Structure 1
Amino acid sequence: MDKREESLPPHDAPTATIDDRGHDRDPAPREAETELDEDDRLKPEFVRDVIDLVEAGEDEAARERIGRLHPADIADLFELVSDEDRPSLARVLGDMLSPDVLAEMNEHVREGLIDLLAPEQVAEIASELDTDDAVAIIEDLEEEEQQAVLDAMEPEDRAAIEEALSYPEESAGRLMQREFVAVAEHVTVGDVIDRLREDRELPTDFWEIFVVDPMHRPVGTCQLSWIMRTPRDIAIGDVMKREQTLIPVDMDQEEVALRFQKYALISAAVVDRAGRLVGVITVDDVVHIIQEEAGEDILRLSGAGDGDINEPIRETYSARVRWLIANLGTALVASSIVGMFGGAIEHMVALAALMPIVAGVGGNAGTQTLAVTVRALAMNQLTDSNSWRAVFREIKIALLNGGTIALIAGTATALWFANPGLGGVIAAAMIVNIFVAGVAGVAIPLLLDRLDQDPAVASSIFVTMTTDSMGFLAFLGLAVASGLTTL
């Protein structure tokens, strides 16, 4: 792919800082800083001014104001304006709508803009991006559009994209860059330095080089700082570090992010099934994955779909309504239990007032345990070696919580209704339901994980059904068993 050349900064140049998207930001004062608030977000008045200029046909004035922004901020501008204003804004920007801007853009917003471009334009944009960013743009296109874009690309670029698309979604193969520096073990440091200076086809940004054997399998890595501090006549094999973290090409991106986090990696080699070096993943790519995966499980627990405010309404509706229908089905279980004790409730109306308290507190206790368990599973903190310890830990916590809440609820109920027996019943029901909630909150996601199912997707439905059903059953059943009421 085409590589952008960049010159070294002068010796006294200020040190660059990194923004939350992993891009360099010049610390020197920028005109664009007046358009950003204290949280580095575009000010609402700036967004309104730009749209007013576009609507008034003052294209040059709009381009001048937008041109002072960082590509990541231009991407934010597109996400902040309405769907109706985005095509006009893209038209005004013209060639300022660069590949870097598209690479930073929300995927739903980007899809809408890509639909406005001809396949040749998309191909040209993709050719200027690193492979992973180009794949992110092309993979979301419809099959016919995708093929049209690939046909318009240069053979070398098309081959790289097609290879990446052959790997599973959200895998290391989709995430990796194919631009890296690899050298043989026997070459000298001087040879490496000369190549880095002379080869214009090398990637622009990298932190280490990979040392490979004759079969192109990685045998070590060498940071650029080590190369610069080593005499030219020393073999690279004497400088490199042989221990390295290798990423299988089909590894899930969440597992990739966990490895980067665990071993504090800046970059890592990606290998195919034969162990050959085929790409590299860098920390700036992983930062996005960590952010996505961190929110993904929480959104799945709530059934909110992607949880993206730029997601089309139809897709959001489809994701959420399925979840609500499933909840409706499980709610019928709890409803049927209440129906079994209809006569008891008629004889003692206070039961109807207290039932939601038992179920609600149990549900919250189950949600607490569920959230902790799903996070532990996602972070690989919960495995076969400590799963039983985690279960017993949650049982202890549930008993402590149950005892505390039971004492408070039982005392308050006994005093409010002047009925010690009713206070004892709700106290016992609280202990039972919070205990069940603790066990269900850890056991259900563990079971789903053992069955190779995503525990974040279905756990909350089953935990809610369990706590509601057991809460009603324990409370109403104990009320009948104690003689407070009859069926």
Structure 2
Amino acid sequence: MSETEFSAAPPLPDTGLDEDDRLKPEFVRAVLDLVEAGDEAGAREKVEPLHPADIADLIEIVPAEQRRALASAIAELIDGDVFAEMNDWVRDELIDALTATQVADLTADLDTDDAVAIIEDMDEDEQRAVLRALDPDDRAAIEEALSYPEESAGRLMQRELIAVPEHWSVGDVLDYLRADDQLTTDFWEIFVVDPAHHPIGTCNLSWILRTPRSVAIADVMKREQTLIPVDMDQEEVALRFQKYALISAAVIDGSGRLVGMITVDDIVHIIQEEAGEDALLLSGAGDGDINEPVRDTYYARVRWLIANLFTALVAATIITQFQDTLAQMIVLAALMPIVAGVGGNAGTQTLAVTVRALATNQLTPANTLWAVRRELAIAILNGATVAIVIGIAVGLFFANPLLGVVIGSAMLGNIVIAGLAGVLVPLTLERCNADPAISSSIFVTMVTDSMGFLVFLGLATVSGLVG
């Protein structure tokens, strides 16, 4: 192609997305302008080329007061796939405006797991109305899923899968796949089951396509497989997918029968959700969703702040025990926050690593003692380094070597205490069957602040620095 021909090529169509696959502000504004002008057909034409996930993003990022007008204008484009990709809070807001029949129509063509995700947060009366509007097979599958605990494999799995008996040949499997147009179209492997419907192996589609028709499926299947109990927590399911590099996995009930499968696309969402959840729990920020109602966010955060207020009162109580020391050397009051602050940061570092290690099963009862020793060694090294730096700096700045020794010793002690607290607090909560991500930071903060003040002011008192 010549340079002239190349330059004359038509430009690529504008998808409305930037280089990071985010909706462009000017695209969003153009769609809203069409909606405000009453040009619903124009709005639909502009939005139609978007992927369902991008349509969900569009609905989420527009101001709340314009959301329903936009949804009404492009209602023909908002199908079950769009709802499945939508933020929970926004989805609930829009579903409230739909009838039970409309919700049933949206979920009818979805995989079971996506349909459950839409229905599970509805009120019981609304759930019953939607379930009554579904056909019997879909209703039975969704009711069974809703009977399992929240955030379990039973809620996460989909019932649409391919299972064949072990006595079939590859040719039988191929004929079955081609003849039955009611089978699911999205699958990567076939499950092989015994007469009691227990999974005994799996077979990748690539193996089936490259194997002669006369070969028995039992001769090409892989017998080793990872089976997921129906009541397993979704976080543990994600860990198994990560550990064994799974694309899909069979879900079994208490009797070992195959009842569904989980696919890696669902696990990607779970990994993101669980990672974000732990980080938000550590900070006490609630769900951390910008679409969450202000009242719910307020309730979630204010409880955390009040809890922190009480931990701060503990530290303040310790300070009052050293009023005479502070009165004799006021510079100690200026240096106290340094000891507590650096200790708090050290504790937070250890806490974050420990909570993550517990969540990913890197830290187990088998290596707990080793982990504690490791964090203690790191705390001693960090504490000694910071203590030397702060001790020399304070000693020179205030022309008081003893003050430098006191603050350096206090810094070393508090960082070591912080390191131990950062690993022992979440381990203790884990042993007590409490989520270490929820309340660990409160206890660690209380320990680092209180012990920082106690060690620093205590050393200043007994060292002869004041008096």
TM-score scaled by length of structure 2: 0.97
The CA deviation at 1:370 is: 0.5
8 Å contact from structure 1 (residues 50, 65) kept in 2:
yes
Q: How does 1:358-369 map to 2 (within 5 A)?
A: 358-369=339-350
Whole-angstrom distance in 1 between the partners of 2:464 and 2:290:
53
The CA deviation at 1:151 is: 1.4
Equivalent position of 1:337 in the other structure: 318
Equivalent position of 2:299 in the other structure: 318
Whole-angstrom distance in 1 between the partners of 2:199 and 2:154:
17
The CA deviation at 1:451 is: 0.9
8 Å contact from structure 1 (residues 99, 125) kept in 2:
yes
**Matched residue count:** 458
1:244-299 residue CA offsets vs partner (Å, 9 max, x unmatched): 00000000001101100110000000000100000000001101001111111111
Whole-angstrom distance in 1 between the partners of 2:11 and 2:218:
44
8 Å contact from structure 2 (residues 15, 50) kept in 1:
no
The CA deviation at 1:155 is: 1.3
Equivalent position of 1:100 in the other structure: 81
Matched residue type, 2:100: P
Q: How does 1:297-308 map to 2 (within 5 A)?
A: 297-308=278-289
1:374-401 residue CA offsets vs partner (Å, 9 max, x unmatched): 1111110000111110101111111111
The CA deviation at 1:94 is: 2.1
Is residue 37 from structure 1 mapped to residue 18 from structure 2 by the alignment?
yes
Equivalent position of 1:262 in the other structure: 243
Matched residue type, 1:430: M
Whole-angstrom distance in 2 between the partners of 1:313 and 1:202:
45
Pick aligned residue for 2:105 from 121, 124, 134: 124
Secondary structure in 2 aligned to 1:35?
coil
8 Å contact from structure 1 (residues 402, 435) kept in 2:
yes
The CA deviation at 1:148 is: 1.1
Is residue 143 from structure 1 mapped to residue 124 from structure 2 by the alignment?
yes
Equivalent position of 2:450 in the other structure: 469
8 Å contact from structure 1 (residues 413, 422) kept in 2:
yes
8 Å contact from structure 1 (residues 32, 68) kept in 2:
no
Give the superposed CA RMSD: 1.1
The CA deviation at 1:32 is: 6.2
Pick aligned residue for 1:178 from 139, 152, 159: 159
8 Å contact from structure 1 (residues 31, 68) kept in 2:
no
1:389-429 residue CA offsets vs partner (Å, 9 max, x unmatched): 01011111111111111111111111111111111110110
The CA deviation at 1:30 is: 11
Change (3 A) 1:267 1:349: same
1:114-140 residue CA offsets vs partner (Å, 9 max, x unmatched): 001001100111111110000000001
Whole-angstrom distance in 1 between the partners of 2:27 and 2:353:
41
The percent of aligned pairs where both chains have the same amino acid is 70
Equivalent position of 2:61 in the other structure: 80
Segments of structure 2 that go 5 or more residues without pairing to the other structure are 1-9
Pick aligned residue for 1:379 from 360, 366, 373: 360
Matched residue type, 2:298: Y
Whole-angstrom distance in 2 between the partners of 1:114 and 1:285:
22
Secondary structure in 2 aligned to 1:85?
helix
Q: How does 1:13-412 map to 2 (within 5 A)?
A: 33-412=14-393
8 Å contact from structure 2 (residues 15, 49) kept in 1:
no
Q: Which moved more, 1:176-185 or 1:144-153?
A: 144-153
Equivalent position of 1:481 in the other structure: 462
Change (3 A) 1:30 1:306: farther
Equivalent position of 1:14 in the other structure: none
The CA deviation at 1:485 is: 2.1
Segments of structure 1 that go 5 or more residues without pairing to the other structure are 1-28
TM-score scaled by length of structure 1: 0.93
The CA deviation at 1:484 is: 1.6
1:159-194 residue CA offsets vs partner (Å, 9 max, x unmatched): 111100000000000000001111110011101000
Q: Which moved more, 1:472-481 or 1:320-329?
A: 320-329
8 Å contact from structure 2 (residues 169, 213) kept in 1:
yes
The CA deviation at 1:31 is: 6.7
Moved beyond 3 Å, runs of 4+: 29-34
Q: How does 1:409-448 map to 2 (within 5 A)?
A: 409-448=390-429
